[in-house]
Amino acid sequence: AAREALASWSGPAATADGTPVKLLANVADGPSAEQAGPEPVQGVGLFRTELCFLNRKDEPSVEEQADIYSSVLAPYSDDRYVVVRTLDAGSDKPIAFATLEGEENPALGVRGLRLSFSNPGLMDRQLDGIKLAAERTGTETWVMAPMVATVAEAADFAGKVRARGLKPGVMVEIPSAALLAHQMLEVVDFLSIGTNDLTQYTMAADRMATDLAHLTDPWQPAVLQLIAITAEAGKQAGKPVGVCGEAAADPLLALALVGMGISSLSMAAKAVRPVGAAISRASMDVCEQAAEAALSAKDPMAARDAVRALLS
Ligand code: PEP
Ligand code: MG
């Protein structure tokens, strides 16, 4: 039956009893945005802009940035939207013109939004490039910052984005941001949970360390609780809270996320159909039970088993 559902499902995504769930694509550049376009997605939930600049020695001009961003926005100028993430340079994604050299502990260092504290021009120019691209393509454009730790950071970023007529949000990748989700949503229009980093920072386990895979698992109860806190804040504020880390691509976990009140799931294009098919077979009630079961399980394996058992 699962195979049949997968073969016949073609979107738009909704639970078996009709609650809509937005499915979005994670993209890296123009070609990947174009490739994801024909998939049953409502848009792009994570455009990782830093991946456009991995091989660049110097910062591209505002004009050049606008061209690159336009190539990502253009395939979604119909009635869809694109969430552009500002530069997440540093740690696992070093960018020659942005990253600081010789940091003792780059994962906990000056990366993501933090680069704009000492180099505000970098952020300003990128936001100008995004604004130009949004105007040129006419695509609805949301802009979010990575590695946000405090409400003051979120408010400052939101001001810069709103000044350009765009819709501001922040990523929830640091436990502090999840715990403060309610206050974050008083200053931004949406949240997007980056489960890869949220898991890394919650479990104090390097996401690249294969020996620690049992810890860097988004099914860890502590990670699920932080996601649930964030989702609940979104429901209370009536604002969208999505997930854009690898967790969103796991069809089983996706059900629990929907049950927690997550309104969008953004993932690699190839994961969209399996996740959409899984959601279409579960009622909202089953999703809520999945969330409850996962949240009360004692470890990741028990959580997976509990959700699987609900489906059989
Ligand atoms: C994440 O941390 O989950 C995320 C989506 O961002 P990245 O994987 O690019 O760090
Ligand atoms: Mg991240």
Provide mean pLDDT across the span 156-169. Answer: 98
pLDDT at 286 over 70: yes
Nearest to 151 by CA among 135, 167, 174, 129: 174
Quick one: what percent of the chain has pLDDT higher than 90?
Answer: 93
Which region, left, alpha or beta, applies to residue 165 given φ > 0 means left and ψ of -120 to 50 means alpha? left
Does ligand 1 lie within 6 Å of residue 107's CB atom?
A: no
Does ligand 1 lie within 6 Å of residue 300's CB atom?
A: no
Q: What ipTM did this prediction achieve?
A: 0.99
- Residues with CB under 5 Å of ion ligand 2 are 173, 194, 197
Does ligand 1 lie within 6 Å of residue 48's CB atom?
A: yes
pLDDT value, residue 7: 75
How far apart are alpha carbons 277 and 69 in whole angstroms?
Answer: 31
How far apart are alpha carbons 306 and 310 in whole angstroms?
Answer: 7
pLDDT value, residue 1: 67
The one-letter amino acid at 49: T
Cis status, amide bond into 12, omega within 30 of 0: yes
Closest residue CA from atom 1 of ligand 1: 194
Task: Flag whether 197 is marked binding.
Answer: yes
Tell how far the Cα of 50 is from the centroid of ligand 2, in angstroms.
Answer: 11
State how far Cα 254 lies from the chain centre: 13
Does ligand 1 lie within 6 Å of residue 196's CB atom?
A: yes
Quick one: what percent of the chain has pLDDT higher than 70?
Answer: 99
Least distant ligand from the CA of 194: 1
Tell how far the Cα of 93 is from the centroid of ligand 1, in angstroms.
Answer: 10
State how far Cα 151 lies from the chain centre: 18
pLDDT at 214 over 80: yes
Task: Flag whether 162 is marked binding.
Answer: no
The one-letter amino acid at 6: L
Mean pLDDT of the chain: 96
> What backbone phi and psi angles, to 5 degrees, belong to 29?
-170, -175
Which residues are tagged catalytic? 244
Confidence of residue 94 (pLDDT cuts 50, 70, 90): confident
Atom of ligand 1 nearest to the CA of 173: 2
Task: Flag whether 80 is marked binding.
Answer: no
Atom of ligand 1 nearest to the CA of 247: 3
Least reliable range by pLDDT among 36-45, 97-106, 195-204: 97-106
Confidence of residue 306 (pLDDT cuts 50, 70, 90): very high
How far apart are alpha carbons 310 and 312 in whole angstroms?
Answer: 6
Strands 241-243 and 264-267 turn out to be parallel
Which region, left, alpha or beta, applies to residue 222 given φ > 0 means left and ψ of -120 to 50 means alpha? alpha
Q: Which residues contact 38 (CB under 8 A, 6 or more apart)?
A: none
Does ligand 1 lie within 6 Å of residue 93's CB atom?
A: no
pLDDT value, residue 240: 98
Task: Flag whether 114 is marked binding.
Answer: no
pLDDT digits (tens, 9 = 90+) for 17-63: 999 999 999 999 999 999 999 999 999 999 999 999 999 999 999 99
Strands 22-27 and 167-172 turn out to be unpaired
Q: What is the pTM of this model?
A: 0.97
pLDDT digits (tens, 9 = 90+) for 124-144: 999 999 999 999 999 999 999
Provide mean pLDDT across the span 227-252. Answer: 98
* Tokens matching residue 67: 């061209």
pLDDT at 186 over 90: yes
pLDDT digits (tens, 9 = 90+) for 72-86: 999 999 999 999 999
* HEC per residue, 100-136: CCCCCCHHHCCCHHHHHHHCHHHHHHHHHHHHHHHHH
Does ligand 1 lie within 6 Å of residue 50's CB atom?
A: no
